[in-house]
Amino acid sequence: MSTPQNVAVNGSRLWQSLMDMAQIGGTPKGGVCRLALTDLDKQGRDLFVRWCEEAGCTISVDRMGNIFARRPGRNDSLPPVIMGSHLDSQPTGGKYDGVYGVLAGLEVVRSLNDMNYVTEAPVEVAVWTNEEGSRFAPAMVASGVFAGVFDLEYGLSRADLDGKTMGEELARIGYAGDREVGGRKVGAYFEAHIEQGPILEAEGKTIGVVTDCQGQRWYEITFTGQEAHAGPTPMVRRKDALLGAARVVDAVNRIGLKYGPLACATVGLMQIHPNSRKVIPGRVFFTVDL
Ligand SMILES: [Zn+2]
């Protein structure tokens, strides 16, 4: 078979699938709340699996619940070309995000089917479990096990705020697969994703290509001062933990600006103790995201 020219996917079919998937966990403002390994996540997974089976794919699920929908290649022993992303969302997520990366992969498979085109290597569409890390920390834990960054026991034992583990919840929704996690060659991996910032839109561009990784660092900092009554304690006698933390917040911001435009520095979480208007703060916990 000759290589087809000017190949295009079916954009309206992809759009319709995105809209259909967004029904599951849809929120009044038009977004999606579909946290990892909830009943809604199961519904989203079931719909994806049904679509892939209708497209002639073979489904396999590994022990972290990662789903792989496989379209065979002419030489099926070659490492697969994998496309994918995630179906889970943040509590106030959008319709696209990881879903777009998953369904774009499915649309490639559907388009190859339309053309009766047989690829040399097999093609797989992947759904990674709990990429968001919203219900179970850390983020990207199941793809991390696949890549060998975390071990399986660590992944399965991650617990949500109610103490339910990923292993228990995978079993409950029927996605505790039996396939080994990772341990196989991948020919190439593609992930389409909605940009999570404002830059492409601001520059009027349709698409960007990732060329580097974020070198992300997270710090957790506790400042300890001394609690005392706000009214009777003279200014010069105080050890105000929040005042120290406030100076660090400003310094973190200056670091981000100094190494811009690519550096970003954020203090996004702060807990003040005892958090009373009549008490000088004795302890402050905060996070820094660099
Ligand atoms: Zn995402």
The total number of structural domains that make up the chain: 2
Q: Residue 132 Cα, ligand 1 centroid: separation in angstroms?
A: 6
Q: Residue 218 Cα, ligand 1 centroid: separation in angstroms?
A: 19
Q: Which amino acid is at 164?
A: K
Among 103, 193, 187, 177, smallest CA distance to 140 is for 193
Same domain, 112 and 255: no
For the cut 70, the answer to whether the pLDDT of residue 2 exceeds it is: no
Among 131, 17, 119, smallest CA distance to 67 is for 131
Domain assignment present for 154: yes
Assess contact for 12 and 2: CB atoms under 8 A.
no
Beta bridge partners of 285: 222, 271
Same domain, 283 and 189: no
Same domain, 32 and 145: yes
Q: Residue 66 Cα, ligand 1 centroid: separation in angstroms?
A: 15
Domain, as residue range, for 277: 218-289
Q: Residue 201 Cα, ligand 1 centroid: separation in angstroms?
A: 18
Q: Residue 98 Cα, ligand 1 centroid: separation in angstroms?
A: 4
Domain assignment present for 1: no
Assess contact for 78 and 187: CB atoms under 8 A.
yes
Task: Identify the band that residue 7 occupies on the pLDDT scale cut at 50, 70 and 90.
Answer: confident
Same domain, 228 and 154: no
pLDDT, one tens digit per residue, over 191-239 is 999 888 899 999 999 999 988 888 889 899 999 999 999 999 999 999 9
Q: Residue 32 Cα, ligand 1 centroid: separation in angstroms?
A: 13
Same domain, 70 and 96: yes
Same domain, 232 and 158: no
Same domain, 150 and 281: no
Alpha helices in the chain (DSSP H): 11-22, 39-54, 97-114, 141-147, 152-156, 166-172, 199-203, 241-258
Q: Residue 266 Cα, ligand 1 centroid: separation in angstroms?
A: 20
* Residue that is last in its domain, among 173, 203, 233: 203
Cis peptide leading into residue 232 (ω within 30°): no
Q: Residue 128 Cα, ligand 1 centroid: separation in angstroms?
A: 10
Same domain, 261 and 198: no
Assess contact for 60 and 52: CB atoms under 8 A.
no
Find tokens 């496989």 and name the residue: 70
Q: What is the pTM of this model?
A: 0.83
Return the pLDDT at 242: 98
Q: Return the CATH number at 42.
A: 3.40.630.10
Q: Residue 162 Cα, ligand 1 centroid: separation in angstroms?
A: 24
**Does the CA dihedral 139-142-148-151 come out positive or negative?**
positive
Assess contact for 21 and 106: CB atoms under 8 A.
no
Same domain, 95 and 66: yes
Assess contact for 98 and 106: CB atoms under 8 A.
no
Q: Residue 141 Cα, ligand 1 centroid: separation in angstroms?
A: 13
Radius of gyration from C-alpha coordinates of the chain = 24
176: part of which helix (H) or strand (E)? none
C-alpha pair distances (Å), 35 with each of 19, 92, 93, 131, 139: 18, 10, 9, 10, 12
* Residue that is last in its domain, among 162, 180, 203: 203
Q: Residue 15 Cα, ligand 1 centroid: separation in angstroms?
A: 18
Q: Residue 130 Cα, ligand 1 centroid: separation in angstroms?
A: 10
**Mean pLDDT over residues 238-258, rounded?**
98
Q: Residue 140 Cα, ligand 1 centroid: separation in angstroms?
A: 10
Same domain, 222 and 119: no
Q: Residue 48 Cα, ligand 1 centroid: separation in angstroms?
A: 17
The whole-angstrom separation of Cα 148 and Cα 162 is 27
Same domain, 75 and 197: yes
pLDDT, one tens digit per residue, over 22-77 is 999 999 999 999 999 999 999 999 999 999 999 999 999 999 999 999 999 999 99
- Side by side, the strands of the sheet bearing 188-190 are 58-61, 67-71, 123-127, 81-85, 188-190
Domain assignment present for 45: yes
Domain assignment present for 213: no
Q: Residue 134 Cα, ligand 1 centroid: separation in angstroms?
A: 11
Q: Residue 86 Cα, ligand 1 centroid: separation in angstroms?
A: 6
**Mean pLDDT over residues 147-158, rounded?**
97
Quick one: what percent of the chain has pLDDT higher than 90?
Answer: 87
Q: Residue 273 Cα, ligand 1 centroid: separation in angstroms?
A: 34
Same domain, 62 and 190: yes
Q: Residue 35 Cα, ligand 1 centroid: separation in angstroms?
A: 12
* Residue that is last in its domain, among 203, 229, 250: 203
Among 22, 156, 152, 4, smallest CA distance to 97 is for 22
Return the pLDDT at 120: 97
Query: Strands, E, within 142-236: which ranges?
Result: 188-190, 218-224, 228-229
The whole-angstrom separation of Cα 284 and Cα 245 is 7
Find tokens 């498979």 and name the residue: 109
Domain assignment present for 209: no
Q: Residue 239 Cα, ligand 1 centroid: separation in angstroms?
A: 42
Q: Residue 74 Cα, ligand 1 centroid: separation in angstroms?
A: 32
Residues with CB under 5 A from ligand 1 (ion): 97-98
